[in-house]
Chain A
Amino acid sequence: MTERKDWWKWLLGLWILAVVWAAFFYAPTARGFKGESARIVFFHVPQAWVAVLAFCVNLVASLRYLRRHDALDDARAAAAARLGLVFCILATVTGSLFAHVMWNSFWNWDPREISIAILLLVYAAYFALREAIADEERRASLSAAYAVLAFVTMPFLVFVVPRIYFSLHPDTIINTKGSMDMESRMFQVLMASLMGFTGLFVWLYTLDVRAARIALARRRRQED
């Protein structure tokens, strides 16, 4: 990692370190929450955001695969799904910890908990499908098809179901009235953390894709 274009990775390292400091000492204690528990929001929300972002990247890569049948697009889709799974688990764990502190229960089938649990199930099903197919091209096109199918049904879960049910979950960043009521320093930290986590996702994703590209090139050379 000696190239000049890698400076942003070092910046990212410092940036997230600063976010960690700011999350605990710069942001004020949130009112209406038990103790300092609300600080977990600075990590929980970006993780959930990355899980959703990865889901979208997975969709784009899958659609591109269906159009061009390039093995690298399949690798892109798989990389995004892997990261999505990891961040989805992280968001579930941090959310569950917060629920335990606030409501004394790790899991209470809140609509948002259901939607993240189903996102987890989608990722798990996606990898179960990939495991079950030995032929590479078939694996790529079938998992791409499943990814598209899962993507079009997700909005119903995220937007329709929580509206039918009552939710304990604190308002998302922009609440139903379309206004933001968050203390400005907290908002700054949250935005900084969102940027940091997005950068981290980009780094992890490009690493995975680069490794996949090397593996593909090697396999092609062996076949020749």
Chain B
Amino acid sequence: MPAQESLFWVAAVTGVIWVGVFVYLVKLDRRIRRIEEGE
């Protein structure tokens, strides 16, 4: 695999991991906010 292409895939995987973490955190944040408002 050419270097440039493999670099692209590494970047893509890193980006996808971050998006996954980010979405999880946004959901967690919403859940905590709901509980905080309910208390």
Binding site for B on A (CB under 8 A): 1-3, 6, 9, 13, 16-17, 20-21, 23-25, 35-36, 43, 203-204, 207, 210-211, 214, 217-218
Contact = CB atoms under 8 A, between A and B. Distances in A.
The 10 A-B residue pairs with the shortest CB-CB distance, nearest first, are A24-B11, A13-B22, A1-B29, A1-B30, A20-B15, A20-B14, A210-B32, A16-B18, A24-B7, A214-B35
Interface string B27-39: 0111011011001
Interface of B: 3, 7-8, 10-11, 14-15, 18-19, 22, 25-26, 28-30, 32-33, 35-36, 39
A17 B29 contact: no
Contacts of B28: 207
A198 to B, nearest CB: 15
A36 B32 contact: no
B32 A17 contact: no
Given A9-B29, A20-B11, A24-B10, A210 B18 contact: no
Contact of B11 (A21, A204, A214, A218): A21
Given A20-B18, A24-B11, A25-B11, 5 more contacts: A13-B18, A23-B14, A24-B10, A36-B3, A214-B36
A217 B39 contact: yes
B29 A214 contact: no
Contacts of A16: 18, 22
27 contacts: A1-B29, A1-B33, A2-B33, A3-B33, A9-B25, A9-B26, A9-B29, A13-B18, A13-B19, A16-B22, A17-B15, A20-B11, A21-B11, A23-B14, A24-B7, A24-B10, A25-B7, A25-B11, A35-B3, A43-B14, A203-B25, A207-B32, A211-B32, A214-B32, A214-B36, A214-B39, A218-B39
